[in-house]
Amino acid sequence: MAHFARINEDNIVQEVLVVSNEQEHRGQEFLANDLGLGGTWIQTSYNSNFRKNYAGIGFYYDETKDAFIPLQPFPSWVLNKNTCRWEAPIPQPTLNHVWIEELLDWQVE
């Protein structure tokens, strides 16, 4: 199965739909014309094999990078230009830590 994201005029993902393998090669045409779901549809990879990240509602599609970029989780986080993922200013010590924006640090859950 193939996955396609519909973006609006601001390149924000509005929805993600599954298309059969038989229609993957013409996903944009199939969704917009055959199913009448107008708009711009861009294929996304469930395994993040292309376009950096699997598209989610609210993600931004950067045409220059040809990548789906998730919402910035905190104002202090910085976008990694290679992965197109947001990173904390301090690496997460262990998985049981959560980011506290007010402290700009990780704390144990």
106 and 79 share a domain? yes
79 and 96 share a domain? yes
Cα torsion 20, 22, 44, 98: sign: positive
User: What is the number of domains present in the chain?
Assistant: 2
User: Which pTM value belongs to this model?
Assistant: 0.89
C-alpha span between 43 and 13 (Å, rounded): 11
Predicted local distance difference test score (pLDDT) of residue 60: 98
C-alpha span between 103 and 22 (Å, rounded): 51
49 and 95 share a domain? no
Contact 108, 82 (CB under 8 A): no
- What are the pLDDT tens digits along the chain (109 aa)? 999 999 999 999 999 999 999 999 998 899 988 998 988 999 999 898 999 999 999 999 999 999 999 999 999 999 999 999 999 999 999 889 999 999 999 999 8
Domain that holds residue 10: 1-71
31 and 49 share a domain? yes
26 and 63 share a domain? yes
